[in-house]
Structure 1
């Protein structure tokens, strides 16, 4: 895992705001209640725990978390929360399941300027599409190429900008990387 522009040991991005856009962990294939009700698989619970511990280990404990209301995203976040302690504010938004890209962009607009690290737990194709929309053309590594293929379960796109989230727009943040759940070990 590369070091992604965070401050010296305090977990805050150096002079910036870090957005972590995560696809929910692996879910069961189908259930009687429909797509919205699909729970995490055993592997998915394991993936989510790894990501939560990895983020905390790197000092990237979110100030705020926004999570889709679908069962698999809520369960993903539940597996991660112990790693973050009591710090993050958590909001559940049905729109992150039903309204896609616009719902995620609306959450950025509604963010407070003191939010240094924001974690969004949502779904494909919203997570990869929004990451591509927000990333500058000169972003690092193979991240933009990986996003074009979609993000696998429990993957996290990390974007950073000096501006507060409420001032982000198209191509306004540097994509630091796209990390799979195994990258956080």
Structure 2
């Protein structure tokens, strides 16, 4: 992402007191003998997570809390992000983000603490893009609809914002501020 684009996102985020980052884990290795749940990040996936962390940090978007699927590739993505974010975010793992469907993401929104202004959810396709479509206000998501409709590529992040506390978010309640691929966050 060019410096001016990062500056524009940073500016837009400042307009919203409540931000949710919905991320698809980084690229994973092929299924091995241990099955889908234990798939690890590929080298590309590790680089994607590092790039996303650096890009979000440059945009001054550091989560207060992160909720992550416990699948290995998702938790490894989170670990890479935390290397950049430090120990500020509260971290929780939720198995429902692996196999619980859209309601698992909606449940995380409903359970968000009042003190949480920036929440990050790390999960899997197709659930992450479908949940974002549900949450997004259609008036603000016309450009993002196509990208969300075909699904998020690995390591991508949807940035959603609202003036309502996260625990009050529901269907069509947040503005889409950006859909970012790791390559969009390059220096």
Which position in structure 1 is the counterpart of 2:9? 4
TM-score, length-scaled by structure 2: 0.92
Write the distance in 1 (CA, Å) between the matches of 2:133 and 2:161: 13
Bigger shift: residues 78-87 or 145-154: 78-87
Conservation of the 8 A alpha-carbon contact between 1:5 and 1:14 = no
**5+ residue gaps, structure 2:** none
Assess if the C-alpha contact under 8 Å between 1:141 and 1:177 holds in 2: no
Structure 1 residue runs of 5 or longer lacking an equivalent are: none
Q: Is the 8 A contact 1:142 1:177 kept in 2?
A: no
TM-score w.r.t. structure 1 length?
0.93
Aligned length: 181
Cα distance, 1:5 vs. partner?
Answer: 6.0
> Which of the two has greater helix per residue?
2
Q: CA RMSD in A?
A: 1.4
**Using the alignment, how far apart are the partners of 1:72 and 1:146 within structure 2?**
22
Give the CA deviation at 1:119: 0.6
Contact 2:129 2:149 survives alignment (8 Å): yes
Tell me by how many angstroms 1:141 deviates. 5.6
**Could you say which residue in structure 1 is the equivalent of 2:121?**
120
Kindly report which structure 2 residues correspond to 1:136-147, keeping only aligned pairs within 5 A, or say none: 136-140=137-141, 142-147=143-148
Displaced runs of 4 or more, over 6 A: none
